[in-house]
Amino acid sequence: MIPADLSRTVVRAVRCAVEDGELPARAGVPERVVVERTRPGGVGDYATPVAFQIAKSAGRPPLDVAGVLARRLGAVAGIERVEVTGPGFLNFVMDPVSVDALVREVQARGRRYGFSAAASVSIGSSSSSSSSASSGGLRARVVEEALLRIRATQGTGTGMGTGMGADAAAAVAAAAPHTAPVAKRDGDVVRLYGEDAARWAMLCVAPHECPSFSARLLVQDESSEFFRVRYAHARSRALVRNAARLGFGSGPGEVPDGGPLAQVLADYPLVLEAAAHRAAPEQVVRFLVRAADELLDFHYRVLPKGDEKPSAAHRARLALAEAAGTVLAGGLDLLGIAAPDCL
């Protein structure tokens, strides 16, 4: 099981518990359940507050609901164990991610990897050329566009005309005293830092926080997170080109030393779901930085060295690096930022 399956698995467990009478019918079955990485120091790999979500309608304490679900979920293949913590949080320890299965899914879905089944058919970037015309200025428009695209991946708001969620709109409005000076120099921000860098600065912090514009956005080395993310994508494309020159291509397979990178990529669907649910595009930004860092740590192992001949292991590593590049490109696209093949 990959983490993207976990939310659906929890929903099925709730449905079965209701059908079997372990939970009352009035409890209802949620359409989706938010599952996220546990916080540092937390228990297990992932956690969900689903028991609180259905406890009130079930007329049962969250701890009892969590116990019912934990017994069912603990027997599911791919889940090593389930623990209940606090007043009713479900915590999951997962079996290691299959790199082969993950890469095949990314290859099959391309930049739509991580989208829910309810996602719109086409979710594209939009230009910010008219962003400053928005009543909230450039920042408000950039946040609105990113949130609409992120929510569209979950089938919860498509098209550019529906407007940002109330929470995000309120957050941007609350930040207006801080962002107003920026709005007055929208043209200068884009002229000085470029459209992509300006978007990154506006989206890398929560909507209620003031974005920071500085020369750091123009730094072209790995000390800059904005540069690192786009550079990591460019490196993935360079690996494919260089492998072709050496006469081999990618081929999915298990990669014993690719676990950390694969685990981060497996989190992407959960990140999109949480970012959509919480109106938090900065969660996508933080994910991209994590994925880029793991790819940059990994990419040195992809190509043969010296007199080494290309092998199945090299093809599998290349496939994983290529998948990481696909995910980085897809995430940048949702933020409205270009992912150049060369940098």
Query: 248, 292 in Cβ contact below 8 A?
Result: no
Q: How far is Cα 336 from Cα 333, in angstroms, rounded to an integer?
A: 5
| Range in 32-46, 140-154, 243-257 the model is least confident about | 32-46
CA distance 169 to 166: 5
Q: Contact at 8 Å (CB) between 193 and 133?
A: no
- Given a cut of 70, whether residue 159 has pLDDT beyond it is no
Say if residues 157 and 148 touch (Cβ distance below 8 Å): yes
Q: What is the pLDDT of residue 69?
A: 95
Backbone angles phi, psi at 35, to 5 degrees: -120, 130
d(CA 335, CA 329) in angstroms, rounded, equals: 10
The single-letter code of the amino acid at 25 is A
- CA-CA distance, 256 to 310, in Å (whole number)? 17
Cα 68 to Cα 13: distance, rounded to the nearest angstrom? 9
pLDDT tens digits for 251-283?
999 999 999 999 999 999 989 988 998 899 999
Give SS3 for 59.
coil
- What is the mean pLDDT of the segment spanning 167-193? 54
Best-predicted range by mean pLDDT among 122-126, 167-171, 218-222, 288-292? 288-292
Collapsed DSSP state (helix, strand, coil) of residue 49: coil
**pLDDT at residue 186 greater than cutoff 70:** no
Statement: residue 192 has pLDDT above 80: yes
Residue that has been written with the tokens 């590049």 in this structure: 325
Secondary structure letter of residue 251 according to DSSP: -
Distances (CA, A) of 277 to 41, 63, 150, 151, 272: 24, 24, 10, 8, 8
Statement: residue 249 has pLDDT above 50: yes
For residue 165, the model assigns a pLDDT of: 46
Residue 135, pLDDT score: 43
Higher-confidence position of 40 and 310: 310
> What average pLDDT does the structure give for the chain?
86
**pLDDT tens digits for 217-244?**
888 999 999 999 999 999 999 999 999 9
- pLDDT for the residue 187: 66
Q: Give the strand pairing for 89-94 and 36-37.
A: unpaired
pLDDT band per the 50, 70, 90 thresholds, residue 33:
confident
Q: What is the pLDDT of residue 287?
A: 97
pLDDT at 91 over 70: yes
CA 309 to each of CA 41, 254, 298: distance values in angstroms, whole numbers, following the listed order: 43, 19, 19
End-to-end C-alpha distance for the chain, whole angstroms: 35
φ, ψ for residue 82, nearest 5 deg: -125, 135
pTM of the model: 0.79
